Chains A and B, each alone.
Chain A
């Protein structure tokens, strides 16, 4: 079923125009650096919730992990459990309120700035900033490539131009409108995503005859699990893989824990808490955020798994086989094959919205980190709006160049790598920083460094999914990984996060009492 190209082009252009107009409204409301950096600390709860959710959910969460659900089955629903339980409830209630209150009290405007003021340590600001400026462009490049791949066929332009146009349009409203424009457009994009995923769920359930009929059919297909997957522990699409098997380790450690916990302590999300006027705004945001995430990842994973029923009934093949072995093609193929034209258009806009909302947040977080926390730290220019605009442009250019240069095998791992690194390096120090009366600078420093170093070593030398494309282990030791199965399937986060936590706890207990409490600015 092909969508009329003219209709598609017109709707995409209308969407882009609407995004730029909303961005312009944000620009008009941006009067000073606090508006630019933390949206004036007065955001509406619905804007906070939709912005947080839309930033949280990128195209890869819908297409990539939806495709993984078609491949590995409904076990991915445990990632949704963590997305909501950890990413919303725990994040907002446990960390959000403290972050907002301390951010206000200490006048923190970025994540590294918050770390610096919590621990009274410029070194922590530099290290946080360094990790952001090094790792975030990779994640940004992955989002850029995903968006460009969508725009290329939709608007009928070359991939290179699609990538440049996508980067520029998003940068325009981020550069001029700052965080207010980013959050307003996020809310608009989040609304489109909500509509798209609701319609996707409804159509899928109609196609498979309802949830129970679909899952029953899927259960009856357990005997059709491809031999390669069955040998690695897969038992069916409505059952968890065999405990301790390679697929179990991949599903539980990389997908569920790696991504589920990785969402905590992501700088671009932490800043959203600091845009709330009071705890009331965050309480209300929780109400919207939980159901929003359920409708994003919960629907994507359910639809991904159930698409096997549709493909088997119509082609005699399982979903991934029907998609030519490409997991990322399952959801687009499913939608193009069985949805009405108008929904294909809505879903394409959903993907574009998901990519832009994440991209804009990353631009803002990288650019402000570069200027506020690195180049201008401790100087007047750290709070200059003009300087931040330059910072965002520089990081946009760096990310775009990376998107052109980096091998796709590394880019494909960028999302998981970024989330893993953030959690391992930042989470223990961030958690203790907002909760402890006397957080120890030494504990935070060693925790961040140990988390980042162990994460890097496990990523480059043990975890096959990254070690192989990185090629560092091969170059130094002449083999793909230093350890064999099952360690090659164990996500770096599962090793590095406990290390950084233990270091943080031990040193905090030892040195925390010696450090004076953080006082109001």
Chain B
């Protein structure tokens, strides 16, 4: 039982939800100044 939750599938869901949110933050920070060519390709 992790954090009071017995089902690893639920635990994995929470880990992935928080993990993806953190991945968004990391992605945003790593690419903060990339792709700044104005419009077009």
Contacts and interface: CB of A to CB of B under 8 A. Distances in A.
A239 B10 CA distance: 6
B6 A293 contact: no
Given A219-B5, A238-B5, A282-B35, A93 B18 contact: no
A89 B27 contact: yes
B20 A84 contact: yes
Given A104-B40, A277-B39, A278-B36, A289 B4 contact: no
Contacts of B21: 84, 290-291, 293-294, 298
Nearest to B24: A290
A279 B3 CA distance: 39
A437 interface: no
Interface string B1-37: 1011111011001101110111111011101111111
A213 B23 CA distance: 28
A74 B10 contact: yes
Contacts of A74: 5, 10, 13-14
B16 A81 contact: yes
Nearest to B40: A104
A77 B37 CA distance: 38
Given A75-B10, A294-B21, A283 B34 contact: yes
Nearest to A104: B39
Interface string A200-241: 000000000001111111110000000000000000101110
A212 B9 contact: no
Interface centre among B5, B18, B25, by most chain A C-beta atoms within 10 angstroms, is: B5
A101 B16 contact: no
Nearest to A239: B7
Interface string A169-212: 00000000000000000000000000000000000000000011
Contacts of B5: 74, 215, 219, 238
Nearest to A74: B10
Contacts of B28: 283-288, 290
Nearest to B6: A219
Nearest to B7: A239
Given A104-B39, A240-B9, A85 B16 contact: yes
B24 A286 contact: yes
Contacts of B25: 287, 290-291
Given A84-B17, A238-B10, A280 B40 contact: no
A88 interface: yes
19 contacts: A80-B13, A80-B17, A81-B17, A88-B24, A212-B3, A216-B1, A218-B4, A236-B7, A278-B36, A278-B37, A279-B34, A279-B35, A280-B31, A280-B36, A283-B28, A283-B32, A284-B32, A287-B27, A294-B21
Interface of A: 41, 73-75, 77-78, 80-81, 84-85, 88-89, 93, 97, 101, 104-105, 211-219, 236, 238-240, 277-280, 282-291, 293-294, 298
